Amino acid sequence: MNPIRLRPTTKDSIGTTAFFRNRILFNTLFNELKACNYSEVTVLFHACSIGAEVYSFVIQYYLGGYDRYFNLKVHATDHEKEFVNYAFKGEYPAKVVKAFKDEEIKYFDFKKSLFFIKNKVSIKNKVKRHVHFLDAKSFTEFETIKKYNVVFLLNAFVYVEGSMQSKTIDKICKYNTDFFVTTAFHMDQIKDDLQRNSYLPVLTNQVEIHNGWKDRRIDSISGELNPQVYADWRLPVFSKVDSFEYRYCSIFSKRLPRL
């Protein structure tokens, strides 16, 4: 079943998101992190919307047994303060569980006793304790002296011009030490933006991850985009087009020498 979309809105933004949007993406990344042999992994989620993908990531950390190998610390932020506050609360419409696996539901509490009339589900404290929500900040303006093993920026570059994508990746590389996870970007320049900052594509499960974006995969791309969108968020059938290693990839590695 496709993930159930959540579309919170503010005056200026629509924060489309979903739980467990691409399970194979997260599991592939966790296996890469396990191979690093770190005792602790720090993660930053930009453009986190109302937190569904952030909490999904932590839940898959437990489901995969990765808590046996390293401690996970997650920071998350979004440019909309209302979204950050919603995410911090950690309560969601009960309908989202319809797309969950049985083992995933165990990480949520229900607000009423009868299953079919529950209005909301909330994230269990076991999951929430891994996540610290930062003050609201746009990914284009974010600055920090902290270093993060992993930085996520999912489905956001399409809302800025290509020049801003370049500037943002140049900034991210300064506080990201190992893996950058990004999707829905300006494909025509992503290779140059990443190579300039010493990122290489992680090709493990590339096809499966590509096909895992079920709400973005379209067999035949046609029609114009919304005028507020600067790049195509839609994914065609996977094929070895020019620079497919970058265009159709989501996980990029930057292994710098450790001091």
Cα-based torsion angle of the residue sequence 190, 150, 35, 199 in order, rounded to the nearest 10 degrees: 30
137: Cβ contacts below 8 Å, ≥ 6 apart:
77, 78, 79
pTM of the model: 0.93
At 9-59, the pLDDT tens digits run 776 667 689 999 999 999 999 999 999 999 999 999 999 999 999 999 999
pLDDT of residue 258: 46
- Burial-class residue 59 by CB neighbours within 10 Å (0-12, 13-18, 19+): buried
Task: Report phi then psi at 92, rounded to 5.
Answer: -140, 160
- Which residues, 6 or more positions from 171, have their beta carbon under 8 angstroms from its beta carbon? 142, 143
> At 180, phi and psi to the nearest 5?
-115, 125
Average pLDDT over residues 89-112: 91
The more confidently predicted of residues 12 and 258 is 12
The CATH fold assigned to 23-253 is Rossmann fold (3.40.50)
Instruction: Supply the pLDDT for residue 7.
Output: 75
Is the CA virtual torsion 188, 249, 193, 136 positive or negative?
positive
Confidence of residue 259 (pLDDT cuts 50, 70, 90): very low
What's the pLDDT tens digit per position in 219-233? 766 666 677 788 888
CB 245 within 8 A of CB 227: no
Answer with the residue of higher pLDDT: 26 or 6.
26
